[in-house]
Amino acid sequence: MRKVAIVGIGQVPVREHWDSGLREMAVRAILDAMQDADVRNCDALYVGNMLAGYLSDQSNLGALLADYAGLQVSEAVSLEAACGSGAAAFRQAVLAVASGMVESAIAVGVEKLTEHSDVSPTNGLATAADADFEAAMGLSFVAINALLMRRYMHEYKCRKENFAGFVINAHDNARHNPHAMFRQAIHLEQYQHAKLIADPINLLDSSPIADGAAAVVIVPAEQAKQFAQPAVIVNACEVGVDTLSLSKRKDPLKLGAVTQSTQRAMQTAGINHTDIDLLEAHDAFSVMTTLALEAAGFAEYGQGTQLANPATIGINGKLPLSTFGGLKARGHPVGATGMYQIVEAVTQLRHQAPDAIQVSDAKRAMVQNIGGSASYVVTTILERDKA
């Protein structure tokens, strides 16, 4: 299959958008991406969304958004893989162009979480867990991560403070991202005294739910030079799959799907860990950041939190992490999150990030979007076009 490139990006700020519904946000992101690429149409539209049916009584988003964005398409469909929905849509858009099925495609992730009638986003998010064997017992997604965090602290004799560096780093970067939800720095004392949500998870361990939409335009790499923006090549986009239920895993602290997905992506791209200039990680909870870094091979099991310092994950560190604030501080509009990560990595590789968070001479980025308790994981390797 041919290589593909990202030639346009668009996003709306991650906020509580009381003035915009699903379609308005998604269309803004799509049209911004098309304007950025300077194209008038694309052949196919792939939508990443988790909860439009549940919270907004709206399914069939592919056709809806193709209409509202004024697109003439030969495909317009929705993909869902819980919080991994954004990357799932991105992956199908990549495949559609790579295979030659179409000459251009848009992937958009969109989620509207703050406006709903008689259902709760917390219950909606719990649909990513096993409905019969986890959610039916009252286990919310925060509770699942609390179990993981407690287990981690017990198993590896890890102190709660060890996680703080991830959170501080994310907020530090988000200050410079105009699209981020939380743009204030936080300090260790604030983390230590933050309100408990589900012991041991506190408010600052958790990413905020929010509304948002982000989109990209994808074309064959050989055509990328015709576009105004510096092209970013998709060198790999690979999936790993695991059980929904934590209880079915041999060791819940080892995220098998993260390992599978990372190894496949690195093999496809022909690179290893040291080739990566920045990592947009799925930091929905600070324990998830830690587990994912370990399963992806950036740290030994039990030692993930040792990375949580500026020399390692800061913008000028060895492995800049969550460079636009990550899920933690940019915000986590679930089905849109995977697309925000891609848009941010592309911005870094174009060298168009705000100065304070631009990773110097960024050439290659890894993006990891996680659905459920790492039951569906997509790892993408993006590279600045050498040409």
Q: Which residues bind a second copy (CB under 8 A)?
A: 1, 21, 23, 50-51, 53-54, 56-64, 66-67, 73-82, 88, 91-92, 95-96, 98-101, 123-124, 126-132, 135, 238-239, 241-244, 248, 257, 264, 371-372, 375-376
Which C-beta is closer to a second copy: that of 136 or that of 188? 136
Q: Minimum distance from CB of 23 to a second copy (Å)?
A: 8
DSSP code, position 123: H
Work out the burial of residue 200: count CB atoms within 10 Å of its CB; fewer than 13 is exposed, 13-18 middle, 19 or more buried.
middle
Q: In angstroms, rounded to a whole number, what is the distance separating the alpha carbons of residues 50 and 33?
A: 21
Which C-beta is closer to a second copy: that of 125 or that of 181? 125
Closest by CA position to 339, among listed 79, 100, 96? 79
Which C-beta is closer to a second copy: that of 76 or that of 164? 76
Reduced to 3 states (helix: H, G, I; strand: E, B; else coil), residue 300 is coil
Take residue 135 and report the two structure tokens written for it. Answer: 């959610």
Closest by CA position to 292, among listed 377, 195, 218? 377
Q: Minimum distance from CB of 172 to a second copy (Å)?
A: 32
Task: Measure CA of the first residue to CA of the last residue in the chain; give whole Å.
Answer: 20
* Residue 171 designated active-site: no
Note whether 94 and 234 are within 8 A (CB): yes
Single-letter residue type at 44: A
Which C-beta is closer to a second copy: that of 22 or that of 313? 22
Which C-beta is closer to a second copy: that of 105 or that of 346? 105
Take residue 25 and report the two structure tokens written for it. Answer: 């946000």
Q: Minimum distance from CB of 81 to a second copy (Å)?
A: 5
Task: Give the residue carrying structure tokens 């891609």.
Answer: 342
- Using DSSP bridges, classify how beta strands 105-111 and 44-48 pair: parallel, antiparallel or unpaired: parallel
* Residue 332 designated active-site: yes
Q: 17, 42, 83, 282: which is the annotated catalytic residue?
A: 83
Which C-beta is closer to a second copy: that of 55 or that of 319? 55
Q: In angstroms, rounded to a whole number, what is the distance separating the alpha carbons of residues 47 and 31?
A: 14
Helix (H) / strand (E) containing 190: helix 188-192
Q: 17, 171, 176, 332: which is the annotated catalytic residue?
A: 332
Q: In angstroms, rounded to a whole number, what is the distance separating the alpha carbons of residues 356 and 345?
A: 15
Single-letter residue type at 243: T
Q: Minimum distance from CB of 124 to a second copy (Å)?
A: 8
Q: Minimum distance from CB of 309 to a second copy (Å)?
A: 33
Closest by CA position to 386, among listed 162, 207, 251, 224? 224
Q: Minimum distance from CB of 73 to a second copy (Å)?
A: 6
Query: Could you list the active site residues?
Result: 83, 332
